[in-house]
Amino acid sequence: MNGNLFGVVLFFLVMVVVSKLMALPQIRRLNKQLLEIRKLGPVSSVGLARHWKGNRAYVLVTDKEGNILCGYKTSGNFVFSGFKEDLDLGEKNYREIIENLQYKKKRTQFEKAKYMAAEYLEKGLEEQGQKEAA
């Protein structure tokens, strides 16, 4: 009995290690894509929505006034995920995202990530404005 229990525990430990090793190339690829996306504009912000089904990320790239140049969202799951341009992005400024999603009761994972990215962008632009005023 102890031999079987030891085997099961060892199997699960090996699976955890294999899972972590498989995630390393994905993390490198996503970081490389994120660096390329951030070069598209002077200001960018990333929002993340965590869920038991998987994480969703949204990247907003704007000019210094907050006008949206482009938006990217994660597509795919697990090891095959990557950033893909959001062609359905209708907002022209990050404030529109906040206004549209602020009072929405049920947000999708992408909407949560998009809202978080817009909030981070707002805070960053406010801090930048305060530094320039000083």
| Res. 7 pLDDT band, cuts 50 70 90 | confident
Per DSSP, the residues of 41-68 read SSEEEEEEE--TT--EEEEEEE-TT-BE
Closest CA to 25 of 65, 76, 79: 79
pLDDT in tens, 34-62: 889 988 889 889 998 887 777 888 999 99
Q: Is 112 left (phi over 0), alpha (psi -120 to 50) or beta?
A: alpha
Mean pLDDT of 80-103: 90
Average pLDDT over all residues of the chain:
86
Q: Find the domain containing 34 and state its range.
A: 2-133
Query: C-alpha dihedral over 98, 89, 129, 120, to 10 degrees?
Result: 60
Q: How confident is the model at residue 94 (pLDDT cuts 50, 70, 90)?
A: very high
Domain count across the chain: 1
Q: Which of 26, 8, 127, 12 is nearest to 82 (CA)?
A: 26
Q: Is the pLDDT of residue 113 over 90?
A: yes
How far is C-alpha 73 from the geometric centre of its chain's CA atoms? 7
